[in-house]
Amino acid sequence: MATATEVTDVNLAHWAPGTRFYSTDDGRHFVVCVDETEAPPGSKLRIIKQPTVILYTDENAVATDLEVDFTFDPGTGHEDAVLAAGFDIN
């Protein structure tokens, strides 16, 4: 099983808030997109969260396609998604 490490020195400005970038010890790269939207305190807004997704990318966090490689229930956290996709976490 490959081990994934979060990479923090890559610009993720072109991704939605809640996106983290990972690199694996076998040379793969991917982003985990988690919908972290919350209704303002005291608001009566109903927020419908999007699923958590993983997309494979290149080493610069640029997707080579927009095909979702893994999909998880809304609210699944970054680390839980990485583990559920079959990676260990460093």
The model's pLDDT over 69-78, given as tens digits with 9 standing for 90+, comes to 999 999 999 9
**Tokens 């988690």 label which residue?**
34
Domain count, the chain: 1
Tell me: the pLDDT tens digits for 36-61? Answer: 998 899 999 888 999 999 999 999 99
The residues that bridge with 31 in the sheet, in sequence order, are: 21, 55
Q: Are strands 3-7 and 19-24 parallel, antiparallel or unpaired?
A: antiparallel
Print the domain residue range for 10.
Answer: 3-89
Q: Please answer whether residues 37 and 43 qualify as being in contact, where contact means their C-beta atoms are separated by less than 8 angstroms.
A: no
Strand arrangement, sheet containing 70-72? 70-72, 52-57, 29-33, 19-24, 3-7, 88-89
Total-model pTM: 0.93
